[in-house]
Amino acid sequence: MKSLRYLIPLFVFVGLVVFLGAGLRLDPREVPSPLIDKPAPAFSLARLDNAGQSISKDSLRGKVWMLNVWASWCVACRQEHPLLVEFSRKKLLPVYGLNYKDTRPNGQRWLANFGNPYEASLFDEDGRVGIDFGVYGVPETFVIDREGIIRFKHIGPLTPEVLAEKIEPLVRKLNG
Whether residue 5 is predicted with pLDDT greater than 80 in this model: the reply is no
* Res 34: pLDDT: 80
Q: Report pLDDT digits (tens) over 51-81.
A: 999 999 999 999 999 999 999 999 999 999 9
Whether residue 29 is predicted with pLDDT greater than 90 in this model: the reply is no
Domains and CATH numbers, the chain: 37-175 (3.40.30.10)
Mean pLDDT over the full length of the chain: 91
DSSP string, the chain: -HHHHHHHHHHHHHHHHHHHHHHHTS-TT----TTTTSBPPP-EEEBSS-TT-EEEHHHHTTS-EEEEEE-TT-HHHHHHHHHHHHHHTT-SS-EEEEEES--HHHHHHHHHHH----SEEEEETT-HHHHHTT--SS-EEEEE-TTSBEEEEEES---HHHIIIIIHHHHHHHH-
Q: Report pLDDT digits (tens) over 35-56.
A: 899 999 999 999 999 999 999 9
Confirm whether pTM is higher than 0.85. no
Whether residue 28 is predicted with pLDDT greater than 60 in this model: the reply is no
Nearest to 40 by CA among 142, 121, 128, 139: 142
* Res 92: pLDDT: 96
The pair phi, psi for residue 142, each rounded to 5°, is -125, 145
